Structure 1
Amino acid sequence: MTEELDFNNLIPELHYYIHRKPTPGWKIEPCITAFIDITYVMHGKAEYTINDQTYIVNKGDLICIPQNSYREAVTIPDDLIECYATNFLLRNKTGQNVSLPLPVISHIGTNPQLIALYNDMHSEWLQHNFGYMLKVRGFLCLILHLILDQLLNKTNNAQDDPRIKNSIRYMSAHYWENLTTEKMARRFHLHPAYYGNLFQKSTGMTFKQYLISIRLNYAENLLKSGEYSVGEVALQCGFSDIFYFSKLFKAKKGIPPSACFHEVKKL
């Protein structure tokens, strides 16, 4: 299912948001949801019944209730739930409703980055400043990306180590330079062999492979602008040999860079 869904073209439409802090008598009345409900549990417990199955949710759980599902819930009186809840529709670029390939309950633990995004969205939601819904939708997109990245992108573990995260940030800003494992290892006071193993374990690619991928992605972007020749693009992206660049580009993108350039020129 994850292979069929184009995550780059998901368009969420937010209908309702709440930072929920229930009283002991709180409950969600039985209903059929006309939306996707994603709820992140910050503290406490609650009992949810979703499509005739009952779940006890706890701190660190993510609840994903599909559109058109039966839903009801009650809090646990001696351990009141606190959570962030968003109700939204999700469409693809052609306007068709799509669902998220997530289990009803996922335990993602305490995620400071996710909490910070919810806090920012909460602040904007309450202030109702000029264009606040546009900003809130932006936060919702970031929240969905973070959730999907954590639960579905099994090759992306770079966030686990700040040294690798900072390495990738540096590579993205200095991709055209003569970057090597040895130079980057010195930045973090690590042995090159240890740094290289750490990088590959975190990203699933060697340092060189990751750097080439960044360079080729930027090269594709430049070619699509139609403003540069293939040779100019190669040099700007850190390739001194245009033939080597063309070989790598074709292997990665499936077409030679000249074809990409000429296609843009036709437009």
Structure 2
Amino acid sequence: MLQFPFSKIFFLVYHYGRIDNLIERETTPQWKLQQLSYSNHYVLALAAEGRAVYELDGFEQPQEIRKGDVLFLRKQLLHSATSDPVNPWKVFVVIFDAIDLSVETSILDHALPAISRTSFLIELTLLFREMLDAWTAKKPGHLLLCRGLLMKMLYLLMREQQLQTTPQARTIDHTIAMMTEHYNRTFSIHELAAHAGLSPSYYRLVFKKLTGFTVGQFQTRMKINKARDFLLSGDCNVTEAAQLVGFDNVYYFSAVFKKLTGINPSELLKRR
């Protein structure tokens, strides 16, 4: 069994798709780690209270961790740590294998820094506690629930880093919300840029960096996803679904739908 002498720890160990252990533990102010690394797992920790000092490979100076900080240890990252003897830290920790969670290693390695400060302290704490409750109750499907909660935590942290490191990211998010709400319209770059208070060229650049798509690609995918929902609901036919999301030509709509989903919209109707 893995042993981790953290101060008040909740942690999940994911190995080949299963949770091996979940522990809540209190330790003394003398807690410390010496020259550790994990070859097969990532470590994600949320400082709930107190303080600790980490020495991480690649960092010239020791790093202080306090309430609201997130620690992310990549595989094989050598680290040592000590807890503040006066104010020992309390921490939530999840240890997982990204492959088992269908998360690309490259995404995790580049999206999350080793130490960061989160504005989602309450949300992350609630997610950790929900995982603990699910593990304790062990109701049918609890492992799936724990996986989903962990994925949500990773999404929140990755999105937060994206918003912190990309200029005007929140402004772009407002225009994305506008496009999502008015899915039957097709907005031009000039309309969206004016709404964001940016030049069209800069808006285009930031939008692609944030979403991975051009504005046109994003709107098309959003419309097709919405049309798919309409078709699966059974409330409309192909022509009606096309019109609802702003396609005037049903044949063009069907061609785009198949290109993005792999099937014709009429085939989707038959699968309901």
TM-score interval for Structure 1 and Structure 2 normalised by the shorter chain: 0.5 to 0.7
Report if the CA contact (8 A) 1:158-1:203 is conserved: no
Contact map agreement 2:72 2:115 (CA 8 A) in 1: yes
Deviation at 1:119, TM superposition (A): 3.2
Q: Return 5+ residue gaps in structure 2 as ranges.
A: 1-15, 57-61
1:116 is aligned to 2:122: yes
The match for 1:238 is 246
| Structure 1 residue ranges without an equivalent (≥5) | 1-9, 49-55, 67-71
* Secondary structure of 1:184 counterpart: helix
Alpha-carbon displacement from aligned partner over 1:182-207 (angstroms, at most 9, x marks no partner): 22222222333332232123222211
Classify 1:218/1:123 alpha carbon distance in 2 versus 1 (closer, same or farther; 3 Å). same
Could you tell me how far 1:91 is from its partner in structure 2? Answer: 11
Equivalent position amino acid for 1:233 in 2: A
What is the rounded CA distance, in whole Å, between the counterparts of 1:182 and 1:21 in structure 2? Answer: 57
**SS of residue paired to 1:197:** helix
Which residue does 2:229 correspond to in 1? 221
Are 1:142 and 2:152 counterparts? Answer: yes
1:260 to 258, 268, 271: 268
User: Does the 8 Å CA contact 2:175/2:196 hold for their aligned counterparts?
Assistant: no
Deviations along 1:141-186, one digit per CA (max 9) or x if unpaired, are 42143357789xx9xx879710112222222221112422222222
| 2:205 paired with 1:169 | no
Contact 1:39–1:63 (Cα < 8 Å) also in 2 = yes
Alpha-carbon offset, residue 98 of structure 1: 8.3
Residue deviations 1:5-36, cap 9 Å, x none?
Answer: xxxxx988696465x885422358xxxx9xx7
Deviation at 1:216, TM superposition (A): 0.8
Provide the secondary structure at the position in 1 that maps to 2:117: coil
User: 1-side partners of 2:104 and 2:199: how far apart?
Assistant: 42
User: Shift of the alpha carbon at 1:224?
Assistant: 2.6
Structure-to-structure mapping, 1:1-267, within 5 angstroms: 16=22, 23-26=28-31, 38-40=43-45, 42=47, 43-46=51-54, 59=65, 60-63=70-73, 75-77=82-84, 80-86=88-94, 101=105, 107-113=114-120, 115-121=121-127, 139-147=149-157, 161-262=169-270, 264-265=271-272
Taking the aligned partners of 2:246 and 2:256, their CA distance within structure 1 comes to 13
How much is the aligned-residue C-alpha RMSD, in angstroms? Answer: 4.9
TM-score normalized by the length of structure 1: 0.61
Partner of 2:116: helix, strand, or coil? coil
1:120 and 1:201, CA in 2 relative to 1: closer, same or farther beyond 3 A?
same
Percent pairwise identity: 23
Q: Is the 8 A contact 1:45 1:58 kept in 2?
A: yes
Q: Structure 1: how far apart are the matches of 2:81 and 2:197?
A: 52
